[in-house]
């Protein structure tokens, strides 16, 4: 058994990698890339006077989108992996993971213009060290200031580099080397140095490009210096290190870092921590309801096989199962929740009333004798329609499963023996048959749960429940890669563990099944 579990766990690793890679490639393949979508959704607040290409360059640098897709994916994988190599990252009190500052690439074809690049070392001042008595707050302030300064010089450099590439692109086009120009007017990344030399030799275009390059190399020097001094502060370890060391400075274990949401600028972990409880609440209310209705009716259908109840319940469940969830949601919203066109019995959106936070926990009577619902009742009232929408389709599968499992056992020899002994038919059904058919019903829970996690997308969308489903849809429209990947990762892991547990439960409960 132990080896089987280990094997399954190890096999999960390639599956998780493949799954996240699939989602990653899909998002990266979106027209215009993520940078374009961020630009549209206002991901970067830019001052006026910057061109579209510059804005794109800024966003791509900020979110690391300028690297090839494989590199981007490996970076992401490195962040979520619980096993880290090299020096440990720092963790700020806010929960943000602080990494060593990223390196900067020099402007394209610098070797055509200058012989050497500005050196990537700090001035000869003594190495930076914090005062031994400095508190965490003071250290944090020093680091923040330094990091803000670096962000500023870096973004200035990236903008000027984009300006240089654009100027070079225009010049290339002017001297007739259009094949080295991208569609947005910038120079292509594979342009040979000889093309730049040709541009510089041109009396009309040369000076402009040279000027643009001079500016960008100047900014590059500033950015390099900023990076070096930030690196010094970082090396002085202003924050406690993240994770647990296994081999010092080579291997450590740390909690996976799911990154920052592109569109909302908040850690993905917090976003999920806010959304997940709402989805879980809906599902954990819905699943017991499904069981309490479907299992007894499946039993009843099996005992009166071919009878009126069997036929009717079977037909009803197929009909319920065929109702599109979008239709059910819209009808409920229009006819039960809407005050003008329907009955208005239920609230239209959200999980709580606006004044829900001010309510008492339990129902109570107000000072003037009026009834106050209280927080719990208010939430339950809001959840009636979403839970109903989640529940109705689940009956069919579970009830059919129960019925089939019961029928299997009705044909078994031990039932005939029990009948021959004169056991009451009630006892046969409840004690013998039902107990033996319980196994597939229990393990079904494990497969229902992940399915519902995905299925609540529509319900949450229609009823404006700020759960995981809504988070996913918003993230898709904003091309918020980090949120999508984190969701795929979490849902996929939950799913695979559920499958594993289902298989193990089978083996535990049924001695005929063995994984040795």
Residue nearer to another protein on the CB measure, 14 or 176: 14
d(CA 257, CA 238): 19
Q: Is 415 exposed, middle or buried, given 0-12, 13-18 or 19+ CB atoms closer than 10 A? A: middle
Stretch that binds another protein, among 62-70, 81-89, 272-280, 469-477 (CB under 8 A): 469-477
Contact status: 477 vs another protein (CB under 8 A): yes
Contact status: 14 vs another protein (CB under 8 A): yes
Q: Which of 428, 472, 483, 504 binds another protein (CB under 8 A)?
A: 472
d(CA 391, CA 291): 10
Q: Which of 93, 193, 307, 334 binds another protein (CB under 8 A)?
A: 334
Query: Is residue 130 classed as helix, strand or coil in its secondary structure?
Result: coil
Contact status: 491 vs another protein (CB under 8 A): yes
Q: Is 439 exposed, middle or buried, given 0-12, 13-18 or 19+ CB atoms closer than 10 A? A: middle
Residues 21-60 close enough to bind another protein by CB under 8 A = 22-23, 26-27, 29-31
Q: Which of 9, 18, 74, 86 binds another protein (CB under 8 A)?
A: 18
Q: Is 208 exposed, middle or buried, given 0-12, 13-18 or 19+ CB atoms closer than 10 A? A: middle
Residue nearer to another protein on the CB measure, 149 or 476: 476
Query: Is residue 365 classed as helix, strand or coil in its secondary structure?
Result: strand
d(CA 401, CA 395): 10
Asked if residues 280 and 387 have their Cβ atoms less than 8 Å apart, the reply is: no
Stretch that binds another protein, among 20-28, 55-63, 80-88, 282-290 (CB under 8 A): 20-28
Q: Quick one: CA dihedral 149, 64, 235, 107, positive or negative?
A: negative
Asked if residues 236 and 129 have their Cβ atoms less than 8 Å apart, the reply is: yes
Q: Quick one: CA dihedral 225, 228, 232, 234, positive or negative?
A: positive
Instruction: Please report how close the Cβ of residue 426 comes to another protein at its closest, in angstroms.
Output: 23
Contact status: 330 vs another protein (CB under 8 A): yes
Instruction: Please report how close the Cβ of residue 21 comes to another protein at its closest, in angstroms.
Output: 9
Q: Which of 233, 302, 385, 453 binds another protein (CB under 8 A)?
A: 453
Contact status: 65 vs another protein (CB under 8 A): no
Stretch that binds another protein, among 14-22, 160-168, 195-203, 265-273 (CB under 8 A): 14-22
Q: Which of 251, 331, 343, 508 binds another protein (CB under 8 A)?
A: 331
Residue nearer to another protein on the CB measure, 30 or 364: 30
Q: Which of 338, 353, 379, 436 binds another protein (CB under 8 A)?
A: 338
Kind and range of the H or E element at 84? strand 83-85
Contact status: 323 vs another protein (CB under 8 A): yes
Kind and range of the H or E element at 247? strand 244-247
Contact status: 389 vs another protein (CB under 8 A): no
Contact status: 251 vs another protein (CB under 8 A): no
**What are the DSSP calls for 155-224, one per residue?**
HHHHHHHHHHHHHHHHHHHHTT-GGGB-TTSSBPTT--HHHHHHHHHSTTTHHHHHHHHHHHHHHHHHHH
Asked if residues 298 and 403 have their Cβ atoms less than 8 Å apart, the reply is: yes
Contact status: 181 vs another protein (CB under 8 A): no
Residue nearer to another protein on the CB measure, 97 or 457: 457
Instruction: Please report how close the Cβ of residue 133 comes to another protein at its closest, in angstroms.
Output: 52
Tokens representing 76 are: 């992401």
Residue nearer to another protein on the CB measure, 407 or 415: 407
Residues making contact with another protein (CB under 8 A): 11, 14-16, 18-19, 22-23, 26-27, 29-31, 183, 315, 318-319, 321-327, 330-331, 333-335, 338-342, 407, 411, 450-451, 453-455, 457-458, 461-462, 472-473, 476-477, 479, 484, 487-488, 491-492, 495-496, 499
């Amino acid at each position: 058994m132990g080896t089987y579990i280990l094997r399954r766990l190890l096999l999960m690793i390639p599956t998780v990698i493949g799954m996240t890679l699939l989602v990653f490639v899909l998002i990266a393949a979106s027209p215009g890339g993520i940078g374009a979508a961020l630009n549209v959704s206002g991901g970067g607040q830019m001052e006026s006077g910057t061109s579209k290409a510059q804005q794109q360059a800024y966003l791509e640098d900020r979110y690391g989108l300028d690297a090839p897709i494989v590199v981007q994916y490996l970076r992401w994988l490195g962040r979520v992996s619980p096993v880290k190599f090299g020096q440990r990252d720092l963790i700020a009190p806010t929960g943000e993971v602080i990494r060593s500052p990223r390196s900067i690439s020099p402007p394209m074809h610098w070797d055509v213009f200058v012989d050497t690049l500005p050196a990537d070392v700090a001035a000869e001042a003594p190495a930076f060290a914090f005062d031994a008595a400095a508190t965490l707050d003071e250290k944090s302030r020093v680091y923040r200031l330094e990091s803000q300064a670096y962000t500023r010089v870096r973004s200035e450099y990236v903008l000027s580099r984009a300006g240089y590439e654009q100027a070079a692109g225009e010049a290339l086009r002017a001297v007739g080397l259009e094949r080295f120009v991208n569609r947005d007017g910038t120079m292509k990344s594979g342009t040979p140095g000889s093309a730049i030399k040709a541009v510089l030799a041109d009396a009309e275009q040369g000076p402009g490009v040279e000027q643009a390059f001079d500016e960008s190399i100047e900014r590059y020097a500033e950015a390099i210096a900023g990076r070096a001094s930030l690196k010094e502060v970082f090396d002085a370890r202003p924050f406690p290190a993240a994770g647990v060391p296994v081999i010092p400075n080579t291997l450590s274990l740390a909690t996976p870092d799911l990154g920052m949401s592109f569109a909302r600028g908040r850690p993905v972990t917090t976003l999920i921590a806010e959304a997940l409880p709402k989805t879980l609440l809906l599902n954990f209310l819905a699943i017991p309801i499904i069981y309490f209705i479907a299992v007894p009716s499946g039993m009843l259908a099996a005992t009166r096989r071919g009878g009126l109840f069997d036929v009717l319940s079977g037909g009803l469940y197929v009909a319920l199962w065929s109702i599109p969830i979008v239709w059910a949601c819209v009808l409920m919203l229009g006819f039960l929740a809407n005050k003008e066109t329907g009955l208005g019995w239920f609230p239209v959106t959200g999980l709580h009333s606006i004044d829900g936070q001010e309510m008492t926990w339990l129902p109570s009577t107000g000072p003037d004798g009026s009834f106050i619902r209280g927080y719990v009742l208010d939430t339950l009232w809001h959840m009636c329609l979403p839970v109903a929408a989640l529940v109705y389709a689940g009956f069919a599968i579970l009830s059919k499963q129960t019925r089939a499992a019961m029928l299997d056992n009705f044909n078994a020899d031990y039932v005939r023996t029990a009948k021959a002994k004169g056991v009451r038919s009630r006892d046969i059904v409840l004690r013998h048959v039902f107990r033996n058919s319980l196994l597939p019903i229990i393990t079904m829970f494990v497969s229902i749960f992940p399915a519902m996690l995905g299925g609540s997308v529509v319900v949450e969308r229609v009823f404006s429940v700020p759960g995981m489903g809504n988070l996913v849809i918003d993230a898709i429209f904003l091309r918020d890669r980090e949120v999508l990947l984190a969701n795929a990762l979490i849902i996929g892991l939950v799913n695979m563990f559920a499958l594993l547990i289902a298989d193990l439960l089978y083996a535990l409960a049924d001695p005929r099944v063995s994984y040795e």
